Structure 1
Amino acid sequence: MKAAPIPANEMQRLHALHRLDLLDTDPEPAFDDLTMLAAQICEAPIALVSLVDAERQWFKSRCGLQATETSRDVSMCAHAFTEQDGLLVVTDTLLDDRFADSPLVVGEPHIRFYGGVVLWSPDRLPLGALCVIDHRPRAVDASQQQALRALARQAEAQIHLRLRVRELRETSLALEHQKSQLIRQHDALEARCEKLSVEARVDALTGVGSRRDADDRLNEEFRVARTLNLPLSVALIDIDHFKQVNDTFGHPRGDEVLREVARRLASALRSADYLARFG
């Protein structure tokens, strides 16, 4: 038997086939109903939905045949890929040089007639075929060919639906991933904003309130005091001769002095009191 030629777009075709997640899956009524109707309409003992993989053809649905797959080398459905209109009809396999010595012709299941319609992916890549098979030479009339094409379109619709379900699942997973990333980014941004807010309110050197925070606190305290007619006390404390400390011992020692002054003042405050580094 002459093996069917490998399509020029074989890699894309196999990628489209594998994305379906149909290979080696359980039987499904949506496909089995179509092979049953194809066998009845074409009065054929065997009807198949075949998918042509890299090394084999596997039957998603089979009516009248026990085998679940064959080698791709003996696949008649693969030959259908070369037909311009996607329909391959072989009235007598023994009279066709492509199939006369096929093990499926000279041996089980003794194929003498084959009629198949290519099943296409959404982007017109051949995936397999809906076919009918008989043990005797014969033909299919125009109405049977038309019905076979119609059933093939329904098989394609099921295949396209399967692909659409996978795409929706992938889109959903991608959206969930993006949502998780956005949540992490939002949390990180909130943490950064909180950190910046703390940095804006707290003097980095001494740990007491910053000048900016002091301005806001003073404005609020003055507003409350005026509204409630309450007294308000503000003390501005300077460190005498602090410049001499920096000039004599250096700024790092001056920083130590500022921190110690702040610590001592903070230790003397009441819970309602407020301390800030003003300048």
Structure 2
Amino acid sequence: MTGRDIHNTFIGVNLIPDNEEERLQKLKEYEILDTPQEGAFNHIAAMATHMFKVPIALISLVDADRVWFKANVGLEGVRSVPRGESLCSLAVLNSAPTIFQDAANEPCLLANPLVSGNFGLRFYAGAPLVTADGLNIGTMCLIDKQPREFTESDQKMLVNLASIVMDEIELRYLRRKVSKDSPE
């Protein structure tokens, strides 16, 4: 494996979906990567920590080589992680939520530095952020250092939060587009 291949696989799972070029192009169209924190996204992440009683909630966007956080409650100061280490990289491969109730018991995660290292990730739940044309560009995710149950009802609430996040991304995009297109 080359260095690039290592970043594109996660414990033997290919992290690059078949529609990667289209997915990345759509993500770039939104012009949201590397932008400042914004209230609506921060509020949704904060609300998620309270709703699910978890210490960490993130709104993540999966870029080519990194996972960048548009909102981050509980990991303040961390703006991104390498794509090959982030469980969000796995979550964007699926249309349904990705749930690890106890990551320490998942053979595919045992070598992950966030699980086996000092961070001690044990619980992860991520619902994909799905564009109108069906592209998964990121996740609304929850993290805990304790294992926990995550019911079907919890999954539905997380999917609804991810839909709200995607609505905010679309509204943000439309506002920016209208302001660029309007004469001054």
For the aligned pair, the TM-score class normalised by the smaller chain equals 0.7 to 0.9
Q: Which has the higher contact order (CA 8 A, sep 6+)?
A: 2
Summarize the Cα distance change of 1:96–1:4 in structure 2 as closer, same or farther, 3 Å threshold.
Answer: farther
- Please tell me whether residue 136 in structure 1 is matched to residue 146 in structure 2: yes
Distance of aligned partners of 1:98 and 1:55 in 2 relative to their CA distance in 1, 3 Å threshold: same
Q: Which residue of 2 aligns with 1:30?
A: 40
Partner residue, 2:86:
75
Measured after TM superposition, the shift of residue 4 of structure 1 is: 4.5
Size of the aligned set, in residue pairs, is 173
**Structure 1 regions of 5+ residues with no counterpart?**
177-279
1:155 alignment partner in structure 2: 165
Report the structure, 1 or 2, having the larger strand content.
2
Which among 109, 116, 125 is matched to residue 115 of structure 1?
A: 125
What is the correspondence of 1:1-279 to structure 2 with a 5 Å cutoff? 1-2=10-11, 4-66=14-76, 67-85=78-96, 87-172=97-182
TM-score (norm 2): 0.87
CA contact (8 A) 1:119 1:127 kept: yes
Deviations 1:16-43 (A, max 9, x none): 1011111111111100111111111111
TM-score by length of 1: 0.58
1:45-99 CA distances to partner (integer Å, 9 max, x unpaired)? 10000000000000000111131110001121111122242x0000111221221
User: Distance between the aligned counterparts of 1:4 and 1:160, measured in 2?
Assistant: 28
Higher Rg: 1
Q: What does residue 263 of structure 1 align with?
A: none
SS of the residue 1:128 aligns to:
strand
**Secondary structure, aligned partner of 1:98:** helix
Query: What is the CA–CA distance in structure 2 between the aligned matches of 1:97 and 1:168, rounded to whole Å?
Result: 48
> What residue identity is the alignment partner of 2:149?
A
AA aligned to 2:88 is C
Give the AA of the match of 1:79. L
Contact 1:20 1:166 (C-alpha < 8 Å) held by counterparts: no
Q: Which residues of structure 2 form unaligned runs of 5+? A: 1-9
Partner SS for 2:94? coil
What is the CA–CA distance in structure 2 between the aligned matches of 1:76 and 1:155, rounded to whole Å? Answer: 19
Letter in 1 for 2:46: M
Supply the RMSD in Å over aligned alpha carbons. Answer: 1.7
